[in-house]
Chains A and B, each alone.
Chain A
Amino acid sequence: MNWVVIVAGGMIGAPLRYLTDRAVQARHDSVLPWGTFVVNVVGCLVLGVLTGAASVDPDLRLFLGTGLCGALTTYSTFSYETLRLTETGAGLYALANVVGSVAAGLGAAFAGVALGEAVWP
């Protein structure tokens, strides 16, 4: 059962990341990879809520947390896009991408846990 919910979560999270990335990247002309930034921060917020919420069904936690949020967010694309920024001479943007993503992701995780604890104690 665990494996089924993980596969299902991953099969929703990954295309959701792909479609969000396309939609976000179509709406700005900055060199920063805002699409990956958005999915990563949203995923941190949702996983934070699930972690803070004590009264969540374990299967739902695996499905939404490990499966969906895990696949929605990505470290590999984040790293590759950062490498591309340094290779194209946008070193400051690369640094901003790393610092900004980690700070925003961590902030979203803290906010999510607090929200989860408050709403579903």
Chain B
Amino acid sequence: MTFPEPGRRPGGVGQFPVVAVVALGGGLGATARYAASLWWSAQPGGFPWTTFWVNVVGCAVIGLFLVLITETLTPHRLVRPFFGTGVLGGFTTFSTYAVDLQQLFDTGHPRTALAYLAATPLAALTAVWLAATATRQVVAGVRLTGRYGTLEADNPGVPDMEGKKSS
């Protein structure tokens, strides 16, 4: 079996909360995607900008989120299934990308189709890579300042702390 969590049998009772929060997140993500499609409705035969941006934004956010929770924070075990698998997975879509492509080819818009075919994976991969890289750099910067902060707080000669304690 793959990645069984410590002390839990795969597919056992421990799975229920995970599946439940994935469902909850999926409902939210799908709703947000549908809302986006209503606010910026795409023209038939045109470049599907709404789905394009939904996917690119979702990829940027997952790059930021997964670097934060796998390399920096140690959040509750349901955070990743809820937000990563549920919300972002439900928000982004591969099926609409493929079927919109099929429709563009089928209705005689091969140039738009080819542009969309190439632009989505390029932009999505760039977004996830940029977001992950930027998050790692910000995290490294925060760790550095955090260390100085600790040193200062540990230093008994800092007047601020002493003053507050005596008053």
Contacts and interface: CB of A to CB of B under 8 A. Distances in A.
A10 B90 contact: yes
A18 B19 CA distance: 8
A43 B93 CA distance: 9
Interface string B12-44: 000000110011111111110110010000000
Given A15-B23, A71-B30, A82-B125, A76 B102 contact: no
Size category, A interface: 35 or more
Given A3-B34, A80-B62, A83-B125, A109 B101 contact: yes
A77 B62 CA distance: 8
* Overall SS of chain A's interface: helix
Contacts, number: 190
Which interface class (under 10, 10 to 19, 20 to 34, 35 or more) fits B? 35 or more
Given A70-B93, A75-B124, A80 B63 contact: yes
Interface of B: 1-3, 10, 18-19, 22-31, 33-34, 37, 55, 58-59, 61-63, 66, 81, 84-86, 88-99, 101-103, 106, 117, 120-121, 124-125, 127-129, 132
